[in-house]
Chain A
């Protein structure tokens, strides 16, 4: 993973968010408060606009700057959570280096752990973690088995999709849908959906 791959991923993520405007909006209108798409769009745009200043930096510095920018741009719950993810990843890349698929997997897992701690949430609470935790676990397992980048990206896309779909039948116990009780059942969590879209967009870049 070099800095230019991170910047290409930012473009792909922005495209994926923009292409799913109506879907993200309708999911958030159903069980949230209707601002998720607008916030994600604002965050993605801010990162894409930063590309000139990021291009010359090392990957850990790029990830850290992305985290800080998201923290001051998105707001809501997604802002601190996504910011924590990138800052958590940056820390591991800085410490462990940036050379192997194993180091990418441990950085991804560290990012997900930071989200888990910041949001005080876990698997099964109808949040983005229902996508991120299974993806992190599988990423770690496949990296340990020396799977190829292509095999990993194909598998992670599928796992992300399954995780996203699994939120449909859950009662929310964290996040803004938490007040809804059983009324949230039958609706996919918008944060899980946007995470799945971002993972899919990045995996699609890996040939």
Chain B
């Protein structure tokens, strides 16, 4: 393992401290329990709180700020945060209209946020994101995993909350956006969890993992490495199978890097994916390309398609001012 580390146990604290210093105009950091909030506390709105294991930066702290999150709770690397973090964050950002938790659908995250919601002295609701269509038999299992599409849910719900909308309206929009998103990822290398010190999974130079999760969990199958267009074709096909969009649909296309794949390749993927979706009659009218939901140092990328309507477009386009997304503000 070759990483910029002082002591493994200190990585999270030192990284969070650096993030808070770099973005001191936007966020405040609290340690023990760990949570980050907006620098300026918002008033009279639904407070949007997300969180999850660390290692997916800029998710979630990078999305704290006007138009998106009020607070984020980072757990240990790839490990859900704990209820005391959510309770303290909720106490800090509660602004009289309840708390909306946005939670990626993993057993640990769901249970920790559920226990926090049970202990919370405020009204709360939860949006579970589950955009990863790589997981087969979704009715049979705990369901699809929440991955990069979470960013789109956080952006849209965050925008609605700024208008003073109530808790149920924010939850309803979050659920709607989530239901219109499908994502699938491909890994070319494994990631290495610092405390483990070695790659999470073994993968040969001639192989790829189709449908990989954002923790390096195995996906649909191990395949032979091949040219980009055929890989992207398989991913796009899986997304179309999951969403079954009508011809003429308008969509947002997000190409997300997992941490160790250069932008040059992400734009190559965007080029191919756009052409393929266009061939299926889908008009790509919004785009996002970059590292938005990473898996530490994994090489690979995911493709996310979100079917738009006027409401989702309005909330995607509205001003946002966070460390990782900023436009119109």
A residues sitting closer than 8 Å to B (CB atoms) are 25, 29, 31-35, 38-39, 42, 71-81, 83, 118-119, 172-176, 178-181, 183
A-B contact pairs, 18 of them (CB 8 A): A29-B200, A29-B201, A33-B216, A34-B78, A34-B200, A34-B216, A35-B78, A71-B84, A71-B115, A72-B82, A74-B79, A75-B82, A78-B108, A80-B115, A173-B140, A173-B142, A179-B136, A181-B136
Residue from the list B108, B142, B193, B201 in contact with A75, Cβ < 8 A: B108
Query: Chain B: which residue is nearest A174 at the CB level?
Result: B142
A29-B196, A35-B77 given; 15 more Cβ-contact pairs under 8 Å = A33-B215, A33-B217, A35-B79, A38-B76, A71-B84, A72-B82, A74-B79, A75-B81, A75-B112, A76-B53, A174-B142, A178-B107, A179-B134, A179-B136, A179-B217
Residues of B within 8 A of A174 (CB): 107, 141-142
10-37 of chain B: CB within 8 A of chain A: 33
Question: At the interface, yes or no: B106 with Cβ under 8 Å from chain A?
Answer: yes
Q: Using an 8 Å CB-CB cutoff, how does the interface string of B82-97 with A read, 1 for contact, 0 for none?
A: 1110000000000000
Asked if A38 and B80 sit within 8 Å, CB to CB, the answer is no
A75 touching B107 in the complex, CB below 8 Å, given contacts A25-B196, A35-B193, A174-B142: no
Residues of B within 8 A of A118 (CB): 111, 114-115
Cα A79 to Cα B76 in complex, Å, equals 12
Question: At the interface, yes or no: B145 with Cβ under 8 Å from chain A?
Answer: yes
A75 touching B75 in the complex, CB below 8 Å, given contacts A33-B216, A81-B111, A181-B136: yes
Q: Which are the 7 A-B pairs with shortest beta-carbon distances?
A: A77-B108, A33-B215, A76-B108, A80-B111, A178-B141, A179-B135, A75-B79
Cα A78 to Cα B80 in complex, Å, equals 10
Question: At the interface, yes or no: B6 with Cβ under 8 Å from chain A?
Answer: no
Residue from the list A34, A78, A83, A181 in contact with B196, Cβ < 8 A: A34
> Number of residues in B with C-beta < 8 Å to the partner?
38
Q: Using an 8 Å CB-CB cutoff, how does the interface string of B196-221 with A read, 1 for contact, 0 for none?
A: 10001100000000000101111100
Cα A105 to Cα B270 in complex, Å, equals 59
Asked if A80 and B108 sit within 8 Å, CB to CB, the answer is yes
Cα A183 to Cα B145 in complex, Å, equals 17
Cα A33 to Cα B108 in complex, Å, equals 12
Cα A23 to Cα B257 in complex, Å, equals 32
Asked if B140 and A179 sit within 8 Å, CB to CB, the answer is no
164-208 of chain B: CB within 8 A of chain A: 193, 195-196, 200-201
B residues sitting closer than 8 Å to A (CB atoms) are 33, 53, 75-84, 106-108, 111-112, 114-115, 134-137, 140-142, 145, 193, 195-196, 200-201, 213, 215-219
Asked if B84 and A77 sit within 8 Å, CB to CB, the answer is no
Asked if A179 and B219 sit within 8 Å, CB to CB, the answer is yes
Cα A35 to Cα B140 in complex, Å, equals 25
Residue from the list B33, B78, B82, B114 in contact with A33, Cβ < 8 A: B78
- Chain B, interface SS category: loop
Query: Chain B: which residue is nearest A76 at the CB level?
Result: B108
Cα A181 to Cα B134 in complex, Å, equals 11
Asked if B142 and A178 sit within 8 Å, CB to CB, the answer is yes
Asked if A79 and B82 sit within 8 Å, CB to CB, the answer is yes
Question: Which of A39, A78, A79 gathers most chain B CB within 10 Å?
Answer: A79
Asked if B82 and A176 sit within 8 Å, CB to CB, the answer is no
Residues of B within 8 A of A173 (CB): 140-142
Q: Report A37 CB to chain B, min CB distance, Å.
A: 8
A33 touching B200 in the complex, CB below 8 Å, given contacts A72-B83, A75-B75, A173-B142: yes
Q: Report A33 CB to chain B, min CB distance, Å.
A: 4
Residue from the list A71, A72, A119 in contact with B107, Cβ < 8 A: A119
Residues of A within 8 A of B76 (CB): 35, 38-39, 42, 75
Residues of B within 8 A of A42 (CB): 76
Residues of A within 8 A of B200 (CB): 29, 33-34
Residue from the list B80, B195, B201 in contact with A79, Cβ < 8 A: B80
Cα A128 to Cα B268 in complex, Å, equals 44
Question: Which of B83, B106, B111, B216 gathers most chain A CB within 10 Å?
Answer: B111
Asked if A39 and B79 sit within 8 Å, CB to CB, the answer is yes
Query: Chain A: which residue is nearest B213 at the CB level?
Result: A179
Cα A138 to Cα B33 in complex, Å, equals 40
Asked if A77 and B78 sit within 8 Å, CB to CB, the answer is no
Query: Chain A: which residue is nearest B211 at the CB level?
Result: A179
Residues of B within 8 A of A78 (CB): 108
Query: Chain A: which residue is nearest B215 at the CB level?
Result: A33
Asked if A175 and B142 sit within 8 Å, CB to CB, the answer is yes
